[in-house]
Structure 1
């Protein structure tokens, strides 16, 4: 299990670094083709099909979101945010056959146009081995302040 834990831990750290560096193609390569990315709004345990979400993307919508960011024409990200994530409290759980569930906490510093914002939250990853490599099949990000008015969130949490 410790070998698996170390692999999962390093995967989550690498994902965070790729997002911080705006390496969207490399980040997208970490996902499965049937992946879901969810950032709930308000209730952490609601049904994203029935409630408003900050982000609720299947893989094709995630691709579209990244294409828009990569154009350099996304006004909300011009200039791009300078980002730094700190990931901690990584835990693994038992999951369905073929999947690994990992939970973690994060602090994210976001600096853009002399405005600094701090984000805090928890993340649930469902990871799956594909061709011997870990891939994200499902990611849920629970922002600590997801029931409050939020500032610009054009970059990916």
Structure 2
């Protein structure tokens, strides 16, 4: 009986985590960046490392290593219209799949997945592919992103200004 309850809890938690990740993808494709900010815990980090294998993000060079303050500033630049990348931002469609629960505690889960983003800007279509790791914290049953790591498959190559959130 106890195993059944733990299994049910894990399945419900995993389902809620995947739904949050899909919701995040939808908000980013719609460029609803302010609503995207609401998906995060105050202590969360949004990370795009250069080194695909690194786990010590604070001590290594990253394309992005944003805490709450930096996420808010990034969104402000993107919605203000003053940033060139924001005023001419690419339209995106992202697919997130291959979900794997890698850590399952009472209040925090970690989910690995893959993401493909198709971006269209000025008649040019570009693909971005990445492995994602979301750490999701449940507070009072409500899931929030505590950390998102986007490991671009070409992170060691020169990247053009992307102009949107991954």
Question: What TM-score do the two structures reach when normalised by structure 1?
Answer: 0.93
Which of 49, 66, 86 is 1:40 aligned to?
A: 49
Partner of 2:108: 99
Bigger Cα displacement from structure 2, 115-124 vs 69-78: 69-78
Bigger Cα displacement from structure 2, 30-39 vs 128-137: 128-137
Whole-angstrom CA distance in 2 between matches of 1:25 and 1:95: 29
Whole-angstrom CA distance in 2 between matches of 1:3 and 1:98: 12
Which of 127, 132, 136 is 1:123 aligned to?
A: 132
Bigger Cα displacement from structure 2, 36-45 vs 52-61: 36-45
Whole-angstrom CA distance in 2 between matches of 1:156 and 1:99: 24
Aligned residues of 2:46 and 2:64 also touching (Cα < 8 A)? yes
Residue pairs, 1:49-128, within 5 angstroms: 49-128=58-137
Aligned CA-pair RMSD: 1.4
Number of positions where the alignment pairs a residue of Structure 1 with one of Structure 2: 157
Matched, 1:144 2:153: yes
Q: Which has more helix, going by share of residues? A: 2
Partner of 1:154: 163
- The gaps in structure 2 that reach 5 residues or longer are 1-9
Question: What TM-score do the two structures reach when normalised by structure 2?
Answer: 0.88
- Stretches (4+) displaced over 6 A: none
Query: What does the per-residue CA deviation read over 1:44-96, in whole Å, with 9 as the maximum and x for residues that have no partner?
Result: 31532332211001111111110110101110232221000001101112245
Change (3 A) 1:12 1:67: same
